[in-house]
């Protein structure tokens, strides 16, 4: 996507291109333009309406999940930035930005934590937004939710067609397919917890736990013969999630975690999760300092 900014606040979005180094180029460019033009502080402006029209028009023209995902990453990134940037007019002194703001909305639970994009929050500036700016943020939220729904429906349709073929082939083949899929899911989700601190949160653990209820599907009489023991491939992520969602972690001993909660995790993996964990919902603590340092750090 190429974004051209013209004097007077005209924005044109033409074509499609991938982000640079995983960054949502269009979202950042649009935000910088709106910030430079002081559009957020305007009592009246048609720039936001133009942007929404462009986004909606682009969404209607896209039929592949790859393109929809690109628009989703940019739209959700712009929304994240706006949430960090906009503050109601007359609300007092502008406070420093916080990286640990709780996301309790649909987007916070589903889109933002699943996103692999990165946004440099140093570019964000808090401004006193007027009504058009907050209306734009509301419209952008609806746009992101619509995109997510479209991708969800497309994936569901694709998977359903594959599953209909799977159940018609020998059981051993279907078990191999489920095993490979679950192994891929396990690697992707578990590695995210190890390398990205924002993924290692309490609320993200709750979200993942809901998704991992797929094992109930695998254990039903109707599908157990096809899934087999594929659920075992998700042990790493399921045990890590089990740690994220337990309360009073500071009371849990090293032996309890290593033997009962997370027996398949290595000391190094568990150390990473324990030290990166943060509670964005209840502000609870991770494991105790004595547990962390004396029992694990020396073993890594």
208 contact partners, CB below 8 Å, separation of at least 6: 189, 237, 241, 244
Percent of the chain surpassing pLDDT 90: 31
Asked whether residue 12 carries a pLDDT value surpassing 70, the answer given is no
Residue 149 to residue 154: CA distance in whole angstroms? 9
pLDDT of residue 157: 82
pLDDT at res. 99: 40
In terms of pLDDT, which residue wins out, 260 or 166?
260
Q: What is the pLDDT of residues 58-95, one digit of tens each?
A: 888 777 888 888 888 899 889 989 988 999 877 654 44
Q: In the chain, what are the domain boundaries?
A: 2-152, 169-299
- Rounded to an integer, the average pLDDT of 221-226 is 66
261 near 246, Cβ under 8 Å? yes
Q: What is the pTM of this model?
A: 0.55
What does the pLDDT look like over 100-117, one tens digit per residue? Answer: 333 434 444 444 443 444
Q: What is the pLDDT of residue 287?
A: 79
Supply the pLDDT for residue 89: 75
């Amino acid at each position: 996507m190429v974004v051209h900014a013209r004097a007077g606040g005209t924005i044109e979005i033409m074509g499609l291109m991938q982000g640079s180094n995983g960054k949502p180029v269009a979202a950042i460019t649009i935000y910088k333009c709106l910030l430079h033009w002081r559009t957020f502080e305007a009592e009246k402006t048609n720039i936001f309406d133009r942007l929404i029209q462009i986004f909606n028009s682009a969404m209607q023209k896209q039929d592949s999940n790859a393109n929809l995902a690109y628009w989703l990453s940019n739209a959700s990134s712009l929304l994240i930035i706006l949430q960090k940037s906009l503050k109601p007019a007359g609300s007092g002194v502008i406070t420093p930005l916080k990286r640990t703001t709780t996301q309790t909305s649909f987007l916070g639970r589903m889109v933002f934590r699943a996103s692999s994009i990165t946004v440099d929050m140093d570019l964000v500036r808090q401004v006193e937004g007027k009504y058009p700016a907050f209306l734009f943020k509301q419209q952008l939220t609806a746009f992101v939710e619509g995109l997510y729904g479209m991708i969800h429906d497309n994936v569901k349709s694709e998977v359903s067609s594959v599953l209909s073929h799977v159940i018609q082939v020998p059981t051993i083949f279907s078990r191999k397919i489920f095993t490979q899929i679950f192994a891929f899911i396990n690697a992707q989700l578990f590695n995210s917890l190890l390398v990205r601190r924002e993924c290692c949160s309490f609320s993200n653990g709750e979200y993942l736990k809901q998704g991992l209820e797929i094992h109930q599907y695998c254990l039903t009489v109707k599908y157990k013969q096809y899934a087999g023991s594929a659920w075992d491939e998700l042990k790493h992520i399921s045990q890590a999630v089990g740690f994220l969602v337990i309360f009073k972690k500071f009371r849990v001993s090293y032996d309890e975690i290593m033997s009962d909660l997370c027996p398949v995790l290595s000391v190094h993996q568990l150390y990473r999760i324990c030290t990166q964990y943060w509670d964005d919902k209840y502000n609870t603590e991770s494991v105790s300092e004595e547990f962390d340092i004396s029992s694990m750090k020396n073993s890594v």
